[in-house]
Amino acid sequence: MLRIYGMARSEFDGRYETWRPRVLPEDLSRLEATVHEALARRDESLRTDFRIRRPDGEVREVEFVGAFTYGPDGTALRGIGVNRDNTDACRMIRALRESQARDRAIFEQAAVGIVDADLDGRWIRANRRLAVMLGYDSAADLAGTSWLDLTHPSDRATGCEQLAALRAGQVDYHTGDKRFLRKDGTAIWVSATVSLIRTPDTGEPSSLTSVIIDATDRKKSEAALLEAEERLRFAQEAAGAGLWNLDIATGLATCSEGYCHLYGLDPASGGHHTIEDWLAQVHPADRPRARAEVEASLAKGNYACEYRIVRTDGTIRWLAARGKTYLDEASRPVRFTGLAVDVTALREAELRLRTAIEGTGFATWERIVAEGTALWSTNHFPLFGYPTDPGGRASYEMWWNCICPEDRAKVQAAVASRQDSERFDVVYRIRRVSDGAERWMQTMGYAIDDDAEGHPRRMIGITLDVTDREVARIRLHDLQNELLHVSRLADAGVMASGLVHEVAQPLMAATMAMQAARLTAHRAAALLPKDLHEGFEEACGLVGDQLARAVEILEGLRAFIIPHGTTRSPEALRPLVDDACTVAMVGFGRSGTAVRNAVPEELPNVLANAVQIRQVLFNLLRNAIQAMAEQGTALVEPTVTVTADLQDAMVRVAVADNGPGLAPEVAAQLFEPFVTTKPEGMGIGLSLCRSIVESHGGSICAEANPGGGVVFRFTLPVAPCDEVPLPEQHEDGTDGSG
């Protein structure tokens, strides 16, 4: 007793008053009242409890069991009792009570469904959360239902097996996903853990308790993940892609099955295990570049590289790889992962296309508008005089800055106008960067990939150097103008010359007659009155003067018309013929007529006025072409051939056709003015030719071509410095002719 109360023997004198203050005041009055009531009832025994405080302050729980004896008059004589220290037991009970309350709270308020069931799976107690999960109003609605009743038919068989295993005590718990049926008949995916509860003393299975979690969202995201994975796998397979993942710390790689297929490796081998493994299969020529790219990517993050590999079967394929380096929180690279696809077919197609395009001589370009960058084919660079960039990298400025300022507005307008015609096409001049040369370019382009406002994001097209064509076009234009001018002058000249010819004769006759009249008058002077004779003399003198003046004017006109005063210079004949051919064909391009310039290159230069000789050639060619065109289709291959050779310090030119030949009525006076067989002809072309040729010191004639048609021949003097070269002197002093 003293131990319970924490007191020494000396501290307790056995008196009620000494014991009383030991009881906690809040328990004392209840305790005394209880004892008092028991004594009043003459109870023989009493059992109660109370708390005491030890001298050191510690509170203890004490149980009291006592017995009372009474005298014959009912007076209580004595009490005897036992105190038992129940502190530890009480604590346990209280803790138990608290834990039970907590359990209940957990059970009711849990975020998961909880259900207790008997060994047959009949539900004894379910919490609210489970009821809500299954679409019931309250947990009470679920009591008495069986575990299997609520299980989706497809999951019942497995459910039965699991229940049997638990009941037999073979397993202590089972966890897994299953479907329950909700009140409205729909299925719900849950994750359920069922535990077997055993009787504490015997260890016999007594009941089941399970925790059930709504797995709808998880199942959904799992399904989505699965689908995404499936799609990714499909995409990889469809693209023939191979994946790799390199753990940078260990330097070890894992590769997908598709990756192994790319390299011709057995998927069971796991592909390449290290970067060196991989490099060994990279084509030796591409190896240093591929290695450098990977090393750079470990530092900068993104990786993109195209390289050749040698497959295990010895074939060479092109791969395009894209990858990324992942960093940890301390920005250290941890993982290098990526994907490679076989682009051999693409490369080959590209190559074929490029060869085809380059074969046509077209230079291609692509412009990325927003970036101001451009991609040029290799043959696009030299067009503008830039060194070729192997990657084709160029810019919009590189093109624009070359365009001659006076053509820029035209180019800009053409590019802007493409909205109407889909395509723009413009011819413009540029200054070549390398040598400053002016060149003509033609650029055609399409806009592809327009933005929402219809502005192009990307444009593609071709450019070609059309300098030769443009220069020829301009020259043709100039020549035509020149010829028109010369022809007009010449036409007027020949007409005037014809008139001079026609008028000079009657003038001469009149002058002669005038002289005869004066002579007659002179002889008859004695017979005539003096004043009449003087008047006649005076009139004759006047008429004579006027006639002489008229002849003088005609002579002057002739000198003016026949162009022998024009400048001459050494001229190469062949280019003159080229020019004349070009202009003569204008309007006859589709007639099927062929014009051949067979003048030898090595012929010495002629001393001539180029404009006039071009005119002669033009007239002869034009006549021949017209004659053959009029003849229609009877002729198989209408051809005019210009040839030339050297004869006695003169160059002899021949213009031969295989047309109808000369009409007999014109043949005799072919070179006379106003002789023509054409309804709209003037008949002065050949006359002009003769004037020009003769003014050059040459001669012109026409003869029948043995094969049909006409040959016109004319001669021109060789230019002085181009005199006939001496026969080649051999070392033995002979000319080699023997």
Query: Does 191 participate in binding ligand ADP (rule CB under 6 A)?
Result: no
Quote the CA–CA distance of 716 and 616 in Å, as a whole number: 12
Contacts of residue 209, defined as CB under 8 A and 6 or more positions apart, other chains included, come to 114, 115, 116, 117, 194, 195, 197
Helix (H) or strand (E) holding 3: helix 2-5
Contacting residue, 100, 678, 703, 736, with ligand ADP by CB under 6 A: 678
Quick one: which segment of 44-52, 157-165, 550-558, 668-676 binds ligand ADP (CB under 6 A)?
668-676
**Position with the least CB separation from ligand ADP:** 685
Q: Which residues contact 699 (CB under 8 A, 6 or more apart)?
A: 693, 714, 715
584 or 718: CB nearest ligand ADP: 584
Please state the closest distance from residue 558 (CB atom) to ligand ADP, in A: 19
Nearer to ligand ADP, 52 or 710 (CB): 710
Taking the CB of residue 58, how many other CB atoms lie within 10 A of it?
Answer: 10
Among the listed residues 394, 411, 710, 719, the single contact to ligand ADP using CB under 6 A: 710
DSSP letter for 79, please: E
Q: Which of 241, 583, 675, 716 binds ligand ADP (CB under 6 A)?
A: 675
> Which of residues 663, 701, 704, 724 is near ligand ADP by CB under 6 A?
663
Give all strands (DSSP E) within 237-391, no chain letters.
Answer: 242-247, 252-255, 302-310, 316-327, 333-342, 363-368, 373-376
CB 156 within 8 A of CB 121: no
Cα gap 612→690, rounded to integer Å: 11
Q: Select the span of 6-14, 106-114, 306-314, 623-631 touching ligand ADP (CB under 6 A).
A: 623-631
Applying CB under 6 A, what is the total number of residues that bind ligand ADP?
23
From candidates 159, 323, 685, 698, binder to ligand ADP by CB under 6 A: 685
- Return d(Cα 204, Cα 198) in angstroms, integer: 5
The Cα angle at residue 133 between residues 129 and 136, in degrees rounded to 5: 90
- Among candidate residues 259, 227, 261, the one with its CA nearest the CA of residue 245: 259
Residue with tokens 């927003």: 370
- What is the chain's alpha carbon radius of gyration, rounded to the nearest angstrom? 62
Closest approach of ligand ADP to the CB of residue 489, in Å = 16
281/676 with CB nearer ligand ADP: 676
Q: Does 683 bind ligand ADP (CB under 6 A)?
A: yes
Does position 617 bind ligand ADP by CB under 6 A? Answer: no
If one asks whether residue 575 binds ligand ADP (CB under 6 A), the answer comes out as no
Q: Nearest approach, Cβ of 661 to ligand ADP (angstroms)?
A: 6
Cα(192)–Cα(133) distance, rounded to whole angstroms? 13
- Asked whether position 638 contacts ligand ADP by CB under 6 A, the answer is no
Nearer to ligand ADP, 433 or 496 (CB): 496
- Closest approach of Cβ 688 to ligand ADP, in Å? 8
Nearest-approach distance from CB 717 to ligand ADP, in angstroms? 24
- Report whether 577 contacts 618 (CB < 8 A): no
Closest contact distance (angstroms) between CB of 609 and ligand ADP is 20
Q: Which helix (H) or strand (E) holds 212?
A: strand 205-214
624: contact with ligand ADP by CB under 6 A? yes
Kindly tell me which of 461 and 685 has the beta carbon lying closer to ligand ADP.
685
Exposed/middle/buried for residue 250 (C-beta within 10 Å: 0-12, 13-18, 19+): exposed
The least distance separating ligand ADP from the CB of residue 691, rounded to whole angstroms, comes to 12
DSSP per-residue string spanning 599-667: --TTSPPEEE-HHHHHHHHHHHHHHHHHHHHHTGGG-SS-EEEEEEEEETTEEEEEEEE-SS---HHHH
With contact defined as beta carbons under 8 Å apart, do 719 and 605 qualify? yes
Instruction: State yes or no: residue 585 binds ligand ADP (CB under 6 A).
Output: no
Binding ligand ADP (rule: CB under 6 A), the pick from 670, 692, 700, 716 is: 670
Interface with ligand ADP includes 395 (CB under 6 A)? no
Which residue, 424 or 712, has its beta carbon nearer to ligand ADP? 712
Strands of the sheet with 187-198, listed across from one edge: 123-126, 113-117, 205-214, 187-198, 173-181
Does 493 bind ligand ADP (CB under 6 A)? Our answer is no
- In the bound complex, what is the minimum distance in angstroms from residue 709's beta carbon to ligand ADP? 7
Give the Cα-Cα-Cα angle 654, 656, 660 (nearest 5 degrees).
150
Q: Nearer Cβ to ligand ADP, position 128 or 713?
A: 713
The window from 118-126, 158-166, 269-277, 678-686 that contacts ligand ADP (CB under 6 A) reads 678-686
What is the nearest approach in angstroms of ligand ADP to the Cβ of residue 697? 22
List 676, 695, 699, 705, residue binding ligand ADP (CB under 6 A) = 676
Query: Biggest alpha carbon distance in the chain?
Result: 232
d(CA 449, CA 438): 33
Residue 686 beta carbon to ligand ADP: minimum distance, rounded to whole angstroms: 3
C-beta closer to ligand ADP: residue 551 or 666:
666
Is residue 114 near ligand ADP by the rule CB under 6 A? no
Site for ligand ADP in 643-662 (CB under 6 A): 657, 659-660, 662
Among 476, 496, 517, 666, binds ligand ADP (CB under 6 A): 666
| Binding residue (CB under 6 A) for ligand ADP from 134, 686, 716, 718 | 686
State the virtual CA torsion across 53, 54, 59, 63 in degrees, nearest 10: -80
Asked if 595 interacts with ligand ADP (CB under 6 A), we say no
Q: Is 669 in the site for ligand ADP (CB under 6 A)?
A: no
Residue 627 in the binding site for ligand ADP (CB under 6 A) = yes
- Site stretch for ligand ADP (CB under 6 A), options 327-335, 539-547, 587-595, 675-683: 675-683
Rounded distance, CA 446 to CA 462, Å? 9
Task: Output 604 or 683, the one with its CB closest to ligand ADP.
Answer: 683
Q: Is 677 in the site for ligand ADP (CB under 6 A)?
A: yes
Q: What is the chain's length?
A: 738
Nearer to ligand ADP, 606 or 627 (CB): 627
Residue 426 binds ligand ADP (CB under 6 A): no
Helix (H, G, I), strand (E, B) or coil at 403: strand
- Helices and strands (H, E) in the chain, number of each type: 21, 26
Closest distance of CB 690 from ligand ADP, Å: 9
Calculate the CA 518 to chain-centre distance: 101
Residue of 236, 593, 612, 623 that binds ligand ADP (CB under 6 A): 623
Cβ proximity to ligand ADP, 134 vs 613, nearer residue = 613
211 binds ligand ADP (CB under 6 A): no
| Cα–Cα distance for residue pair 732/314, rounded to 1 Å | 69
Where do contacts with ligand ADP occur on this chain (CB under 6 A)? 619, 623-624, 627, 657, 659-660, 662-663, 666, 670, 675-678, 681-687, 710
